[in-house]
Chains A and B, each alone.
Chain A
Amino acid sequence: MSVIDVNHLTKYYGKARGIIDVSFHVEEGEIFGFIGPNGAGKSTTIRLLLSLIYPTSGSGTIFGKDCIKYGPELRQEIGYLPSEVFYYERMKVIDLLKYSASFYSQDCTQRMQELAELMELELNRRIEDLSYGNRKKVGIVQGLLHRPKLLFLDEPTAGLDPLMQRKSFQLIREENQRGATVFFSSHILGEVQRMCNRVAIIREGRIVEIADIRTLQQNNYKKVRVAAGDLDAAYFDMPGVTNLERHDNAVRFFFKGDINAVMHKIGEITVSDVTIEEPTLEEIFMHYYE
């Protein structure tokens, strides 16, 4: 069953582009990565699905229900961590969390305590006294305390120290194993690569690719490095080769197609070293952005 279905969603802010004709779906139980640079439309998409803003055209459904019409009811099952966390400055952390919990029908007290302990939150501090990282921790706790079935995480780890990043990843995985579907927006490829099953790449408001992380890495490109005495880069200039460059004593390029073509070429010369490997998501990603 699809948890999120987005159909030709378009949003303009006046004349400024938000997102254009975005369509995708997220299956129950998956961790869906949503990746793109700042300003590509990641937050716009999430905020449309939460009906914080309204679409210019197109629609979205969550759990099969229209996300605007059934918004209040749907949000009972949704946890949201915004990319920038802002809370009522003069409130104490504990009061904010209790306020947050008071919106949900179930009793969240125990889960709230667990999460606060895990994230090492000081409950009696005022929000205005918290650092950015600590605010983010409050955000994580308030987003998870009602055991949501769907999580929208908008750059969840920005501003957290590595230890807390690892803890929150762990937490997100646990939530996922418990059955929660996770929509994970980020511009940090490493974390998407580690966390997600599938990924959508968004660029200048449009989806450029939706793929399985593995297929994205395996089926498409190979990263080839050939070291040889006085090899000219032009030697490998053939169909399927991109980003061809000579660096020190080696020629490097990406290759897409039948790998035997490259093997033949390499076989005809004397080499000192050869590596053929999967490109990192980073490198694939850069490719989409050129």
Chain B
Amino acid sequence: MTTNIFRQEFKMHLRSVITWSVSVAVLILIYLSLFSSFAEQAELLNEMLANFPPQFLTAFGMTGVNLATVLGYFGFVFLFAQICVAIQAANYGFSLVSVEEREWTADFLLAKPVSRTHILTSKLLAALSGLLITDIVVWIASLLFVNLFRAGRTYELKPLLVLLVSIVPFQLFFLSVGLVISLLVKRIRSVTPYAMALGFGMYVLSVFGDLLGTSILETITPFKHFEPHYILDNGAWDLPLVLISVVVIVISVVGSYLLYNRRDIPAVV
């Protein structure tokens, strides 16, 4: 790693990190603040939900949600946090290297006395640090607001912690897959559509998987590998599925290093 690149990259991420962290924290705050009113009429709501078509509930991640319990409700909230964090991580992954090529600054950086391996490592660590800041904010917000708005109801701490920690490999999936895709294509003109497509696309896949009842899609999407309700109900990760994520992450990262070290940096013509 090269500290000057790390520092520079971290500075460039900082504003985005703060924006995402605050947004996700506010989202958690708003949803959790509604818990007490939901919980009071939970029986009524659960009854009402039962009357909805199951496809509808699946589409919004509400199958088997028990809004009367703190964790049942939080699992539903956490799904939205996951979508945000997925798009954020994908965004960093796609832009990590491509931003230098899009804005033609790669010639400046790569003509410096550093190897590409060092550059990529520094950039990855800077992005990871940014994501970790978001994680810490999400963790604090979750624990704080769950305790603040639980309306006197009790919950088990362990499943909640296991769920909160799962956000790290979940992000790594989107970061590394975004990165390797950005190195497989010739040029990324705009990062946002790619990040949205990957982040949101994976969510849609998991919904389709539920709707169609096929387990094939489960193997692809991290929204299935790290499904909040599974983790909260079992107090543990769904290990075989999590392993798929880990394998994808390892392949993507190794592939990224290989591709970046052989890449022809495009020039202005």
- Give the nearest-CB partner of A139 in chain B: B108
| Cross-chain contact A103 with B113 (CB below 8 angstroms) | yes
Min CB–CB distance A71 → chain B (angstroms): 7
Could you say which of A47, A75, A89 contacts B112, with CB atoms under 8 Å apart?
Answer: A75
B102-121 toward A: CB 8 Å interface, digit per residue (1/0)?
A: 01111110111111001000
**A residues less than 8 Å from B8 (CB atoms):** 99
Query: B2, B8, B118: which has the most chain A beta carbons within 10 Å?
Result: B8
Residue in A closest to B265 when the chains form the complex, CB atoms? A52
Per-residue interface assignment for chain B, residues 153 to 180, with 1 indicating a CB less than 8 Å from any chain A CB and 0 otherwise: 0000000000000000000000000000
A71-95 contacts to B, CB under 8 A, are 71-76, 78, 80, 82-84, 86-89
CB neighbours (8 Å) of A53 from chain B are 264-265, 267
In the complex the two chains form, what is the Cα distance from A38 to B111 in whole Å? 22
How far apart are the CA atoms of A54 and B265 in the complex, in Å? 9
Q: Would you call A73 and B113 a contact (CB within 8 A)?
A: yes
| A72 to B, closest residue via Cβ | B115
Cβ–Cβ < 8 Å partners of A87 in chain B: 105, 108
CB of B37, distance to nearest CB on chain A (Å): 44
Does B4 interact with chain A (Cβ within 8 Å)?
yes
Contacts of B268 in A (CB 8 A): 83-84, 86
**CB within 8 A of A84: which of B104, B114, B264?**
B104
Cα(A43)–Cα(B107), bound, Å: 12
- Size category of the A interface is 20 to 34
A100 within 8 A of B: yes
- Are A47's CB and B108's CB within 8 A? no
Nearest B-chain residue to A74, judged by Cβ: B113
- Contact A88 B113, CB 8 Å, known A47-B265, A53-B265: no
Q: A52-B106, A86-B108 are in contact. Are A103 and B114 (CB under 8 A)?
A: yes
Within the assembled complex, what's the spacing in Å between the Cα atoms of A89 and B12?
11
A52-B111 contact in complex given A99-B4, A103-B4, C-beta closer than 8 Å: yes
The reply on A289 being an interface residue by CB < 8 A is no
**Interchain CB contact (< 8 A) of B113 among A47, A76, A142:** A76
Q: Which of A52, A71, A87, A104 has the most CB of B within 10 A?
A: A52
- B108 contact set on A, CB distance < 8 A: 82, 86-87, 100, 142
- Taking CB atoms, residues of chain B closer than 8 Å to A84 are 104, 267-268
For window 28-55 of chain A, which residues contact chain B by CB distance below 8 Å? 39, 43, 47, 50-54
Q: A43-B267, A54-B264 are in contact. Are A71 and B105 (CB under 8 A)?
A: no
| Interface members, chain A 50-64 (any B CB < 8 Å) | 50-54
On whether the beta carbons of A72 and B113 are closer than 8 Å, the reply is: yes
Q: Which of B111, B114, B262, B265: most chain A Cβ within 10 A?
A: B111
Q: Mark B238-269, 1 if CB is under 8 A from A, else 0.
A: 00000000000000000000000010110111
Contact with B along A162-188 (1 / 0, CB 8 A): 000000000000000000000000000
Expressed in whole angstroms, the Cα–Cα distance for A82 and B111 within the complex equals: 10
A9 to chain B, nearest CB (A): 14
Chain A positions within 8 Å of B265 at CB level: 47, 52-53
Known: A76-B113, A102-B4. A47 touches B267 (CB 8 A): yes
Task: List 7 A–B pairs whose Cβ atoms lie within 8 Å, in order of A's numbering.
Answer: A50-B111, A52-B107, A72-B114, A86-B108, A86-B268, A100-B112, A142-B108
- Extra A-B contacts (14), CB below 8 Å, given A52-B267, A88-B105: A13-B264, A47-B107, A52-B107, A52-B110, A52-B111, A73-B113, A75-B114, A80-B107, A82-B107, A82-B108, A84-B267, A88-B12, A100-B112, A103-B113
